[in-house]
């Protein structure tokens, strides 16, 4: 069965500056090179889902500029439905500047632009698309009010909702109750719960806190260590695949997009889907860039026979 995945999210043109090490406060350094590519958490997640075989559609907004055309064309290249991307004639297309050091670590500065200018009214024209989908994903690079409106609509039609709370921010009222699965990294999870993630007991404590908020299912991604999962019936920790990372950009987004392509609507195969997602993200970190680094299902199957 092929999952029908809808991503509500951000579309950014990424500018990556390749540097030897991160600058100290007040320090001026030289970049060794510069690259531009399509990105944004939403776009990354949608491309990851599409390349893993999901029938993928996108709800988002770009500016009336060349970068907006560039982003729409990038999604079309992966056969993603772009019919529900609107054009804002007031705000520019979102962008990001990424500092990438020789160890593969990054720092990212994001200009929201048209992404942050989205309004809940955008949802009305997307009801048919949402109704026909299996999985709906959103993150925090677009307004939470829009996510809340879309998630409410999804729940009316029995669609499974996945929330990636990144960049970390407090959930607005009502969003937890319409979120089926939340997927933060350890820093984002601790920010939302107030409980530092240090071991499996603290991961379970985070899960309890999310349950009290109204979210019964949780995956915490913990970089190169692996991922913890908790559902109403099961919990556990799945170690990561050990690889030499070149660039961690889009690793978490690849994880979520790949996960959405495999997971059952009732989350009954969460451990298997999580393992597949970790295979995908382990390939992403061995490559440079955001969208260019995301693997296909065939590449994942070849590397992990």
Any known ligand binding at 293?
yes
Any known ligand binding at 125?
no
Residue with tokens 């090179």: 33
Any known ligand binding at 42?
yes
Any known ligand binding at 62?
no
Contacts of 279 (CB under 8 A, 6+ apart): 241, 258, 300, 303, 304
Any known ligand binding at 252?
yes
Any known ligand binding at 284?
yes
Buried b or exposed e, range 134-160, using 16+ CB within 10 angstroms: bbbbbbbbbbbebbbbbbbbbbeeebb
d(CA 142, CA 131) in angstroms, rounded, equals 21
Any known ligand binding at 282?
no
Any known ligand binding at 211?
no
Q: What are phi and psi of 43, to 5 degrees?
A: -60, -45
d(CA 4, CA 24) in angstroms, rounded, equals 45
Any known ligand binding at 110?
no
Any known ligand binding at 88?
no
Note if the bond before 167 is cis, omega within 30 degrees. yes
Catalytic residue among 65, 88, 180, 253: 253
- The answer to whether 253 is a known catalytic residue is yes
Any known ligand binding at 222?
yes
183 within 8 A of 256, measured Cβ to Cβ: yes
The DSSP string of 216-244 is -EEEEEETTTEEEEE-SS-EEEEEPPP--
Q: What is the DSSP letter of 23?
A: P
E strands, 11-131, in order? 12-18, 33-39, 55-63, 81-88, 94-100, 106-111
Any known ligand binding at 185?
yes
Q: Please, how many CA atoms are within 13 Å of residue 241, restricted to the half-sphere of its CB?
A: 19
Any known ligand binding at 40?
yes
Any known ligand binding at 180?
no
Any known ligand binding at 249?
yes
Q: What are phi and psi of 13, to 5 degrees?
A: -90, 120
Q: Please state the residue numbers annotated as binding site for ATP.
A: 185, 221-226, 252-253
Catalytic positions: 253
Q: Please state the residue numbers annotated as binding site for substrate.
A: 12-14, 40-44, 141, 253
Q: Please state the residue numbers annotated as binding site.
A: 12-14, 40-44, 141, 185, 221-226, 247, 249, 252-253, 284, 287, 289, 293
Q: Please state the residue numbers annotated as binding site for K(+).
A: 247, 249, 284, 287, 289, 293
């Amino acid at each position: 069965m092929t999952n029908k995945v809808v991503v509500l999210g951000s579309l950014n043109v990424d500018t990556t500056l390749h540097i030897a090490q991160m600058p100290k406060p007040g320090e001026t350094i030289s970049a060794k090179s510069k690259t531009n590519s399509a990105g944004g958490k939403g776009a990354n997640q949608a491309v990851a889902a599409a390349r893993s075989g999901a029938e993928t559609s996108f709800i988002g907004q770009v500016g009336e500029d060349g970068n907006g055309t560039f982003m729409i064309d990038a999604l079309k290249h992966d056969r993603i439905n772009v019919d529900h991307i609107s054009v804002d004639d007031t705000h520019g297309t979102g962008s990001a500047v990424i500092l990438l050091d020789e160890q593969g670590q990054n720092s990212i500065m994001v200009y929201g632009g048209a992404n942050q200018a989205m309004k809940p009214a955008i949802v009305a024209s997307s009801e048919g698309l949402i109704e026909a989908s299996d999985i709906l994903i959103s993150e925090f690079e677009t307004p939470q009010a829009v996510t809340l409106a879309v998630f409410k609509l999804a729940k009316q039609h029995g669609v499974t909702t996945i929330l990636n709370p990144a960049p970390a921010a407090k959930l607005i009222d009502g969003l937890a109750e319409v979120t089926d699965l939340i997927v933060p990294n350890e820093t984002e999870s601790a920010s939302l719960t107030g409980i530092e993630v240090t071991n499996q007991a603290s991961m379970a404590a985070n899960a309890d806190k999310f349950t009290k908020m109204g979210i019964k299912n949780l995956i915490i991604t913990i970089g190169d260590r692996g991922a913890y999962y908790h559902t109403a019936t099961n919990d556990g920790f799945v170690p990561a695949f050990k690889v030499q990372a070149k660039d961690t950009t889009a690793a978490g987004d690849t994880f979520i997009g790949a996960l959405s392509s495999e997971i059952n609507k009732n989350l009954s195969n969460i451990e298997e889907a999580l393992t597949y997602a970790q295979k995908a993200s382990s390939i992403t970190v061995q490559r440079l860039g955001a969208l260019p680094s995301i693997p296909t299902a065939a590449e994942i199957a070849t590397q992990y026979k």
